[in-house]
Amino acid sequence: MMKAIMVLVLCGVIVPVFGQRTQWGVDFSDAIISRYQPNINAMTGKDWDHANSIILHGMEKIYAHTGDKTYVQYIQSFVDDFVSSEGEVRGLKTELDGIHPGVLCLFLYQETGEERYQVAAQQMRDFLIGTVDHPSVFQKTPDGGYWHKNNDHYEQVMTVDGAYMSNPFLVKYGQMFDDAESLDVATFQTLLIASRSFNIESHLPYHGWNYAKNKSWSNAIGTSTEVWSRSVGWFSMALVDILDDLPATHSDYQNILYLFQQLSVGIKETQNQQGLWYQMVNHPSAFGNYIETSGSGMVIYALKKGMDKGWLDTSYEGVVNQAWNSMQTYISTNPDGLPQINSFNPGMGIKDNLDEYVKVRPVSCPSESEKQHPHGYCAILMAASVMEF
C-alpha cells in the first residue's frame, strides 16, 4: 500500500504526495475491503440499496481491468446476504434507489453463471416494470414517469438521479435477455425526465421535476431551480451506460446520444479553473459554494467513456485530463493509513434554493462522524476505472 512521503498545501487544499503507489482504483478498492467487513453494508447499513451498490459497481469496473477475484468475492458477499439460493431478493423497496443493486446481479450472473442471479435480476425487473399477473407497485406521474420514491415527499416527483438508479440496469437486462420492453421503458423514462428538466440553453439538467407543480422547490413549469453537481454526474453516467448496452438500431438510440452530447457541452462550459465542478454547477461565485468531487468524478467517467466510444470528439481530452489531475489532489491519507477522498456532498434530496444547497457542507470518506457517505468512493472508483487503465 502507498506511503505518504510529504504534504503540500496548494490553493488551500491539503495535497498528499505519494511515493511508489499503484493505482487509485486498486488502492481504494483494497481499502474498502479492509475497512468494511464482512461486506459493504457494514459501512452504510442501508441493505439492498444504491448506497451499497454504487460502491460495488465501481469496484466491478476496477475488477474488469485487474482480474482480482477478491473484488468479485467481496461483491458476492454483499449480494448473497440478500439473494437466496433460489434467487429470491430480500428487502426490495418501492423507490428507484433500491433498483440499482440489480446491476450487481447481472454482473454476478455473467461472472459465475449461477442461475439464481438471473432469477434475482428478473425479479428486480418485474418488480419495477410489472407483469401481466403482477402489475408494478411503483407510482407514476400521469404522463408515465416513475416517482423517485413511493412516498409523500416524492409524490409526482421525478429526478435526474433516478435515471441512473434504474435505467442502465433495465437496458443491460434487456440486452442480455433480449427483453425489448426493458429497453423501451428505460429510454422512455430517460427521455421523459430530460424533456422536463434539461435546459437547452445551459445544456444542463435541473435536479428534479414535479408534475403537480406544488412542491416548495418547483417553479411554474414544475422544475427545480438549481443545477446540482451530483445530479449532473448521475445523469451523465446514466446516458453513457445506457448507450453502451442499447442497440444502435433502437429507435431512441440517436436521441440518447444527442442528449449526452448536449449535456457534455454544458459540463465542459462549467468546468472551473481548477479543473473540477462546483457543488452548484452554474453558480461558480456563489458564497459558500465549493468544489464537489463526487459529481466531478462521475462526469470524468462519463466524458472519458464518451471519448473512448467515439461519442465525443477529442476536444474533451483536455477537460478530462485536467479534471482527473485535479481530483487526485483531493485524496489524502486517513489516520488508518489508507486513502481518503474529500470534499463531496453527502446524500440529499432536492432543495428549495441555492442557499439551501450550499449550506450542506462537504464531507470526506471515511468520515470522522459515525455516519459514512458512499458517494465519494463511487466517484473515485468510476473515474479511476477509465483514467488509470
* 0.85 exceeded by pTM: yes
Task: Express each pLDDT in 11-33 by its tens digit.
Answer: 334 444 444 456 999 999 999 99
Over the chain, what HEC string results?
A: CCEEEEEEEECCEEEEEEECCCCHHHHHHHHHHHHCCCCCHHHHCCCCCHHHHHHHHHHHHHHHHHCCHHHHHHHHHHHCCCECCCCCECCCCCEHHHCCCHHHHHHHHHHHCCHHHHHHHHHHHHHHHECCCCECCCCECCCCCECCECCHHHCCEEEHHHHHHHHHHHHHHHHHHCCHHHHHHHHHHHHHHHHHHEECCCCEECCEEECCCCCCCCCCCCECCCCEHHHHHHHHHHHHHHHHHCCCCCCCHHHHHHHHHHHHHHHHHCCCCCCCCECECCCCCCCCCCECHHHHHHHHHHHHHHHHCCCCCHHHHHHHHHHHHHHHHHEEECCCCCEEEEEECCCCCCCCCHHHHHCCCCEEECCCCCCCCCHHHHHHHHHHHHHCC
Query: Up-side HSE of residue 127: CA atoms within 13 Å toward CB?
Result: 22
Query: What cell was used for 133?
Result: 399477473
Q: For residue 17, what pLDDT is reported?
A: 42
Say if residues 228 and 279 touch (Cβ distance below 8 Å): yes
Better-scored residue on pLDDT, 107 or 369: 107
For domain 23-387, say whether CATH 1.50.10.10 is its number.
yes
Angle at 260 between CA 146 and CA 362, to 5 degrees: 75
State the amino acid at position 297 in one-letter form: G
Task: Express each pLDDT in 351-379 by its tens digit.
Answer: 999 999 999 999 999 998 889 999 999 99
Query: What cell was used for 276?
Result: 473540477
- Whether 204 has a pLDDT exceeding 90, the answer reads yes
- Whether 193 has a pLDDT exceeding 60, the answer reads yes
Instruction: Measure Cα distances from 336 to 32, 332, 384 in Å.
Output: 12, 11, 22
- Whether 266 has a pLDDT exceeding 70, the answer reads yes
Task: Express each pLDDT in 79-102 by its tens digit.
Answer: 999 999 999 999 999 999 999 999
Residue 108: phi, psi to the nearest 5? Answer: -70, -30
Lowest mean pLDDT of 5-9, 60-64, 176-180, 282-286, name the range: 5-9
Instruction: Measure Cα distances from 343 to 13, 106, 165, 294, 377 in Å.
Output: 10, 32, 23, 8, 12
Measure the CA–CA gap between 231 and 94, rounded to whole angstroms.
Answer: 20
Measure the CA–CA gap between 198 and 43, rounded to whole angstroms.
Answer: 34
Percent of the chain at pLDDT > 90 equals: 93
Among the listed residues 85, 74, 84, the one whose alpha carbon sits nearest the alpha carbon of residue 40: 74
Q: For residue 59, what pLDDT is reported?
A: 99
Measure the CA–CA gap between 377 and 25, rounded to whole angstroms.
Answer: 10
Mean pLDDT, the chain, as a whole number? Answer: 95
Mean pLDDT of all residues in 230-240: 99
Say what the alpha-carbon torsion angle 146, 148, 152, 157 is, to the nearest 10 degrees: -70
Mean pLDDT of all residues in 301-307: 99
Task: Express each pLDDT in 241-262 by its tens digit.
Answer: 999 999 999 999 999 999 999 9
Q: For residue 134, what pLDDT is reported?
A: 95
Residue 342: phi, psi to the nearest 5? Answer: -120, 165
Q: For residue 117, what pLDDT is reported?
A: 99
Residue 14: phi, psi to the nearest 5? Answer: -75, 120
Indicate the domain borders of the chain.
23-387
